[in-house]
Structure 1
Amino acid sequence: MEMNNAGKAPRKVSVLISKIEDDCRTNISTLIRDGREAAAQWEVNWDSPVWDVTHIFSQTIRSHRSERKALNFWFTERGESPKIPGHAFERTFGEVVRSLVVLRHQVGNQCFVDQQQVIIAAQFISQQLAPRNHDLTTLTTGDLEAACDQIAATQAETTTYKLQRFVEVIAAAIDQNRLCARRLNFRYSKKVRPASTGGLDYVRLDDPILHRGHQPSSSPMTL
């Protein structure tokens, strides 16, 4: 088994696409095609930067209220203000992120918060790809390192750890489905697990503006 840049075995990630070829651009096209087909069951507007997925995930979110706000996925860049979402992802990059979300759910039935973390982690990766027209095939471990560094510089400690893990998850999915010209084998060597991870301080990520430079309060938030 190949070792990654931190000397540990890479994460095990399922193959998501129906057929893997040697050409990464062909695999990206296949990923998007498969993602579109799977998303048809979600009854969402594929091209919209905002998906209301309440009907998909409402049963997996605990709430003491009889009614709760809609659960949305925001396929957008990070906004300059915590209260203003950024513009929509570049088209192809956005379709890749949509496809990863839908196909991961199809394979592993991940919860809403898990999928939202994937999207937010993708926002930081997108920032690194912006100078190269968001071309995923050019992604490098340096880009992923920079994305994780930016997460650490802008997010609270517990959120930082979670999002850095999901940068690794995305990198593993890219490797497993051959979406990049080079194998990444990425694990962020500076990632530090905070004592509160997985405990009562677990932070919900169902708000598109949450954690865009915003520090959550010290009070625990309920899933």
Structure 2
Amino acid sequence: MINSTIISSVEVIAFDADDTLFINEPYFEEAERKFCVLFQDYLSHQSLSNMLFKTQVDNLPLYGYGIKGYVLSMIEAAIKITNGTGSTKMMSKILEIGKELAQQPIVLLDGVEDTLAQLHGKYKLIVATKGDLKDQQRKLHDSGLGHYFHHIEVMSEKAELNYEKLFNRLDINSANFLMIGNSLKSDVLPVLNSGGWAIHVPFHTTWEHERIDHEIVHNNFRSCKKISDILPLLL
């Protein structure tokens, strides 16, 4: 753990949703595997994976994050892979993969509900996540965790400006805000740069686009192995 000193100035605690509260990335990895199997006669698994990733990242400014944008990127990548000769059956299969992705069960990560229960009433708890609005609302509803949260914020991008807008909406100072999440790029760096606090709780797998290649050293930064480890820092 990095810096175990208790955090005393926090009033609002924001939790990322995907791979912080419940499982998400493994479902996308399985969808990618199915995509690569579908087009294995055209390119190697690695080449297919790289093309899908590049297409998805290139489309983020248009589609944002989430399942719908991912499906559109799979279709676009398929057209490139097959030079426009992909069958209707293939495209239908991509849509099936997307629908399966949208109906995956909500599996809470270990310790999540107990941690929320212990913090509830002592802090104002919110969700700050990104992705498709409808899908995130469905997941939070199905998770059974909604009653712990005062506010749910679904951002198009977790950038400094969007966090600062969140501070203004909640009428709080950044020094009183703590963000907890599995992504150093989205949940930690922009919050620290905005004057807030951040705790990184890593998940066993991380989407390549969310990775950074440098260590974070900051007075307002903490790192925990699992979500229940945040409690000694806050209670």
Q: So what's the TM-score if we normalise by structure 1?
A: 0.30
In our comparison, the structure showing a higher alpha carbon Rg is 2
Considering fraction of residues, name the structure with more helix: 2
Of Structure 1 and Structure 2, which has the larger fraction of its residues in strand?
2
